[in-house]
Structure 1
Amino acid sequence: MLMLRLSIVVGGILISLFMIGDLQLIPPELAGSYITSRALIQLPILAGLLAFTFAPQFFRFAQTAFLATVISITYANYYLIHVAWEQAAFSFPYEGTLLYAFFGFFVFGMKFYYALTAMLISSVGFVGLMFLDPVYGDRTWMNAGFVVGSLFVGAIGRHRVDRLLGQLEEANEQLVGLSTVDGLTDLFNRRALMSESERLFALQRRSNKRLAVFMMDLDHFKQFNDHYGHQEGDRAIRIQADIMRQVFKRQTDILGRYGGEEFMAVIDGEHADRFEHLAGEILKQWQELAVPNEDSPDSKVLSCSIGICQGLATEFDSIDEMIRRADEALYRAKKQGRARYVMA
């Protein structure tokens, strides 16, 4: 926003500098009309745009404001060209038409369809002015063609810029996804999981609210992977991720793959009973799926063990402490026979 406001100020300074130079070139009888156009019309339009940038609704109407500003100043310049011709048969330069348009296209950052609209309205106005006043003599229509063509090139340039920016934004989103999402499960990867968990822990600690960390591990996964192959192992990992998404449904729930066949969920809540219910739902879904695991020394189906650490966030020094306690609870669940949960 600061850069936009500085750009508007620079635009006003440029118009002021044009006044200093133009007043040395135009006939004296045009000085009053010229100063009126520049100082009392064009500069106040820019000042109005600058003031509008401080309004709460500016971002909603920014593109419309840019379009209105460019068209208003351009047509004020057309009127100045008309008056100069009518009053003194003076051919006032048309370059301002292009400067105003390009300033809007590339400095204000007008989107393509707004730039195209500005190009069409500006072109129609300039051609109409040339019909009304043959300002540039034998070169009138050549100059008109040059203005229309230049405005068209500017609009196409804005289209190319928008397309490149869109491709860049899409590439950045893909990079963010690659840096935060586990490719196999579409859950958070470990780095993003830890970052989001620390954020939720800090939030719950400030408000002295309850938090739970679930550590989940597929039982005898090595035997399953060795017996059925890596593709089936990957499918089992995806099943675990799908179960987690079905059980932990709230947008605030943080789900991730901690590593290998180990998963973690960090959620907020009011009662420990709810956490136990969620753990029970995970175990129940695995039981219902009954995925065969012939080489398991315990059950002959694939299962999951869960360790839970829960409590008020203020009772713990860090999220790392909660993860450590949940991991210890997971270890106890394994020792007690697997396919169960243990609450720390």
Structure 2
Amino acid sequence: MTGSSMRILLVDDVQLDRMQLAIRLKQLGHMVEAVSSGQEALDIYSDFDPELVLLDISMPGMNGFELSQKLRQRYTEWIPFIFLSGHEEPSMIAKAIDAGGDDYLIKPVDKLVLNSKLIAMQRIAFMRRELKKTTAELAKVNEVLKQQVDEDGLTNLYNRRFIDSTLSEAITWHGRHNLPLSLIMLDVDNFKAYNDNYGHIEGDKCLISIGQMAKDLFCRSGEYVGRYGGEEFVILLTNTDSDSASSHAQRIHHGLESLAIAHNYNCNVGHVTVSQGVLTIIPTGKETIDELYTRTDEALYRAKSSGRNCFKLVT
């Protein structure tokens, strides 16, 4: 389809009129779908996605006015409708406009008038296409911006702002439904020594690897992995009790063992490990995110005090 052609839906129950007009439209370079009833038009409309509808007023079963009203109600995106009729009365033209029409052609359709109307409609179709293209491009840009707002720049995990917002909503929802909510905070053990000895570039790679591992482990609906800050990560697990949270902490432990990132300065362990604080509560809905972070951080501190490379649970 060229830039000047249109997808035109032609609705007319008179076969001869329909065929003659369809041939003329195709000769002008347009793509035409010609149907004989309002129901056929309704059935094909969405798949054909017309840019112009030509519809006869006088049709059995469902006349042009009724079809126009149904289409306008069903599809919110505006498409120009041109009514076709042998009636020239001003009252009929006014009724057509009231029924959702944008123009009116008297049958038999004059070739010169038809061509003029189509040129005007082509301009509208071109503007619609450009608008839809611009809208789609804006949607893509907005999606990218949303990702940038919600994502951590280094690890591509959720950032602190997003996790805070999601946690706040989760507290309210779980409190309303009396369901358990779990939070895991993990901190890379002896990360300063890792950076000092392997360099900051390798340190960044280490954080990226840990983040990706956690993201792979927690990819189901209601599981959120974020970078809390520095070498700390946070995992929000909705509708998760303490037993499940403990199992998830073990999964993280085994995940780090599988990664086997060398760390010869990590208390003789030989690879990168993390300490984890795990909190599970059934919130009342009135708790603040700072309260939950504080309690989880206390559990994390206990894990570090217990020799690192372990997790501690509080409920």
Fold-level similarity (TM above 0.5)? yes
- Hey, what does 1:232 align to over in structure 2? 202
In the TM superposition, residue 318 of structure 1 has moved relative to its aligned partner by 2.6
One of 232, 241, 246 as aligned partner of 1:276 = 246
CA contact (8 A) 2:86 2:108 kept: no
Q: Matches of residues 1-344 of structure 1 in structure 2 within 5 Å?
A: 48-49=69-70, 53=73, 58=74, 61-62=75-76, 67=79, 70-71=80-81, 74-76=82-84, 78-81=85-88, 101=102, 129-131=109-111, 141=112, 143-269=113-239, 271-314=241-284, 317-344=287-314
Matched residue of 1:223: which SS? helix
CA contact (8 A) 1:188 1:257 kept: yes
In the alignment, structure 2 segments of 5+ residues that lack a partner are 1-56
> Which one has the largest radius of gyration?
1
Q: 1:227 to 1:80 in 2, by over 3 A?
A: farther
One-letter amino acid of the structure 1 residue matched with residue 221 of structure 2: Q
Q: TM-score, normalised by structure 1?
A: 0.63
CA contact (8 A) 1:127 1:144 kept: no
In the TM superposition, residue 270 of structure 1 has moved relative to its aligned partner by 5.1
Matched residue of 1:313: which SS? coil
Residues 8-59 of structure 1: per-residue CA shift (max 9 Å, x gap): xxxxxxxxxxxxxxxxxxxxxxxxxxxx99xxx887777x359x74xxxx4x
CA contact (8 A) 1:126 1:144 kept: no
Q: Output the aligned Cα RMSD.
A: 3.2
One-letter amino acid of the structure 1 residue matched with residue 205 of structure 2: R
Residues 43-101 of structure 1: per-residue CA shift (max 9 Å, x gap): 7777x359x74xxxx4xx445xx55xx43xx224x5345x79xxxxxxx9xxx8xx955
The CA distance in 2 between the partners of 1:127 and 1:327, in whole Å, is: 79
One-letter amino acid of the structure 2 residue matched with residue 232 of structure 1: E
More strand by share: 2
The CA distance in 1 between the partners of 2:245 and 2:164, in whole Å, is: 20
In the TM superposition, residue 248 of structure 1 has moved relative to its aligned partner by 2.1
CA contact (8 A) 2:173 2:285 kept: no
In the alignment, structure 1 segments of 5+ residues that lack a partner are 1-35, 85-91, 103-121, 132-140
Q: 1:128 to 1:312 in 2, by over 3 A?
A: same
Q: 1:126 to 1:222 in 2, by over 3 A?
A: farther
Residues 282-321 of structure 1: per-residue CA shift (max 9 Å, x gap): 1111122221112334523111110011121129733321
More helix by share: 1
Matched residue of 1:314: which SS? coil
Q: 1:145 to 1:288 in 2, by over 3 A?
A: closer
The CA distance in 1 between the partners of 2:200 and 2:210, in whole Å, is: 15
The CA distance in 1 between the partners of 2:241 and 2:127, in whole Å, is: 59
Q: TM-score, normalised by structure 2?
A: 0.69
Matched residue of 2:284: which SS? helix
Residues 199-254 of structure 1: per-residue CA shift (max 9 Å, x gap): 11111011111111111111111221222222221221122112212322321112
The CA distance in 1 between the partners of 2:66 and 2:213, in whole Å, is: 62
Matched residue of 2:277: which SS? strand
